[in-house]
């Protein structure tokens, strides 16, 4: 893959990540029923968030599959730019992995990672 394709994937990765983050902030604004574990957010927005998440993860995997083998082509030490990319790539991968674990496997931890809406937090204080 060439420089142009890498640049396009990198920009798409950044734009999709930003869009998905802003979409999640919007989805957090809808009331959440903690008893039934269901949000009142529109299903279309939740589906869009999920699809964008899958595309984000797929771009991450494609970028890692092509960039990690490049590390073995360096003869001496890694340049500072490469080290910065490596650290950011590993950090994004670790955060993505933990996020997927919480959402898919450890759902009981979701309440500690997502902010409560004002109505649900006030009703929780009353009981």
103 class by beta-carbon count within 10 Å (0-12 exposed, 13-18 middle, 19+ buried): middle
- What is the DSSP track for 27-82? HHTS-EETTTTEE-S-HHHHHHHHHHHHHHHHHHHHHHHHHGGGGGG-SS---HHH
> What is the per-residue pLDDT for 125?
43
DSSP H or E run through 117: none
- pTM exceeding 0.85: no
Residues of the chain with pLDDT under 70: 108-127
């Amino acid at each position: 893959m060439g420089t142009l394709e890498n640049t396009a994937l990198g920009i798409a990765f950044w734009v999709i990540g930003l869009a998905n983050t802003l979409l999640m902030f919007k989805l957090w604004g809808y009331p959440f029923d903690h008893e039934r574990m269901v949000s009142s957010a529109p299903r279309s927005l939740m589906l869009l968030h999920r699809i964008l998440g899958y595309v984000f993860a797929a771009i991450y995997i494609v970028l890692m599959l092509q960039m990690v083998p490049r590390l073995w082509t360096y003869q001496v030490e890694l340049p500072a730019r490469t080290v910065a990319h490596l650290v950011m790539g590993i950090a994004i991968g670790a955060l993505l992995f933990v996020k997927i674990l919480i959402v898919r496997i450890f759902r009981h931890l979701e309440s500690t990672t997502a902010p409560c809406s004002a109505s649900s937090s006030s009703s929780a204080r009353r009981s």
